[in-house]
Amino acid sequence: MTSRPDVSAVKAALRTQAIETPSWAYGNSGTRFKVFAQPGVPRTPQEKLDDAARVHEHTGVAPTVALHIPWDRVEDYPALAQHAKERGLRLGAINSNVFQDDDYKLGSVCHPDAGVRRKALRHLLECVDIMDATGSRDLKLWFSDGTNYPGQDDIRARQGRLAEALAAVYERLGDDQRMLLEYKFFEPAFYTTDVPDWGTAYAHCLRLGEKARVVVDTGHHAPGTNIEFIVALLLREEKLGGFDFNSRFYADDDLMVGAADPFQLFRIMYEVVRGGGFTSDVAFMLDQCHNIEAKIPAIIRSVMNVQEATAKALLVDREALSAAQASGDVLAANAVLMDAYNTDVRPLLAELREDLGIDPDPVAAYHRSGWAQKITDERVGGTQAGWGA
Ligand code: LRH
Ligand code: MN
Ligand code: MN
């Protein structure tokens, strides 16, 4: 007997999903070897929002855009929020940036010098001011802090400095605001990183309180790491704040989510569904760079990849799975999961889009729209995403 969820329930759940796109994915980016500039890329944060509006128009599920400060610094944030609103968007997470200043050579909030630490903290607090102005809920914190050589600095003391800064930021958060702490196992530091893993991020968030949660960037783990386990655990502890989705083959590759390992993405989304994380408490964000491919269609494709993995996860016959698990039927349990994964959900998603009144083929609709030609003609001298030169 099958108790597979019915299609209308799956479609109803998919309608509630929102996938946030990052402003920096619309700009030029590259590796430390070369940035291949593309024609028509945005020159301003406003133009990034104009492009993001195309992604939302064609997918129907990308209503918010994450900002990165200072890459998206503007004079008037309420005006930027209004610009977004007029295009059917909202401003999403504010990403802080304490990694691009000469002062941060030895770290930011973990730096041995109190003056540099104060400067970094000022920036983080400024990001909360920006959230107040934009109406953003989440502050996303990623620190490049770490050391390159054994003995370079006191690892323990650095944890203390980190905790102090995080506590000051936490104190400043409004009632409806959260801070999401992102970990990454290495790079740019190569010996120690001050927030290298979920355990470190979790320990800090636990001390801070309810409003502090961990963000899982799928590209920030050592090869072979079981990311879905981390997701399951963080959800169980009510400490999963969101995702920075992307794919990796080697390190922090920032390729399109679902491109390298769609099965892993499905397994992650299954744990999200299973763990009750399919709510607005868990932010589904992209964190990607499109160095050689056209950016807007790549972002549309990425949104669709997350949707496909989610649809498959929602299709898992959880009753049959529980029964197989309870009876110790290893092969049957595995078959239930694989059955959902191997389902072609593209027709279901095409139907969902038709229900939403949008084209069932978002990439084709974008290509037909003439937007790529329009921005190529109108925009000259697009900006770089902010790093990778
Ligand atoms: C660090 C990271 C973090 C930054 C972004 C640009 O590797 O994933 O989220 O804010 O890249
Ligand atoms: Mn990230
Ligand atoms: Mn990264």
Q: DSSP labels for 126-153?
A: HHHHHHHHHT--EEEEE---EESSTTSS
> Are residues 162 and 194 in contact, defined by beta-carbon separation less than 8 angstroms?
yes
Spans of all domains in the chain: 19-316
- The closest ligand to the CA of 253 turns out to be 3
Residues of the chain with pLDDT under 70: 1-2, 382-389
| Residue from 129, 65, 72, 70 nearest 93 by CA | 65
Lookup result for tokens 């855009």: 65
| pLDDT recorded at residue 382 | 64
Give 67 Cα–ligand 2 centroid separation in angstroms: 12
Structure tokens at 73: 């610094």
Q: Which ligand 1 atom minimizes the distance to the CA of 182?
A: 9
217 lines ligand 1 (CB under 6 A): yes
Structure tokens at 31: 């590796």
CATH of domain 19-316: 3.20.20.150
The span from the CA of 383 to the CA of 38, in Å, is: 10
| pLDDT recorded at residue 229 | 98
Segment 163-166 long-range contacts (CB within 8 Å, at least 24 positions apart): 163/204, 163/207, 164/109, 165/109, 165/117, 165/120, 165/121, 165/124, 166/109, 166/141, 166/204, 166/208, 166/212
List, in order, residues 6 or more apart from 139 with CB less than 8 Å away. Answer: 93, 94, 96, 124, 127, 128, 131, 169, 173, 177, 178, 179, 180
What are phi and psi for residue 316, nearest 5 degrees? -60, 130
What are phi and psi for residue 332, nearest 5 degrees? -65, -40
* Burial (0-12, 13-18, 19+ Cβ within 10 Å), 191: middle
| pLDDT recorded at residue 384 | 63
Of all protein residues, the one whose alpha carbon is nearest to atom 9 of ligand 1 is 142
pLDDT digits (tens, 9 = 90+) for 293-303: 999 999 999 99
72 lines ligand 1 (CB under 6 A): no
Give 170 Cα–ligand 1 centroid separation in angstroms: 20
The span from the CA of 154 to the CA of 120, in Å, is: 19
145 lines ligand 1 (CB under 6 A): no
244 lines ligand 1 (CB under 6 A): yes
ipTM above 0.90, yes or no: yes
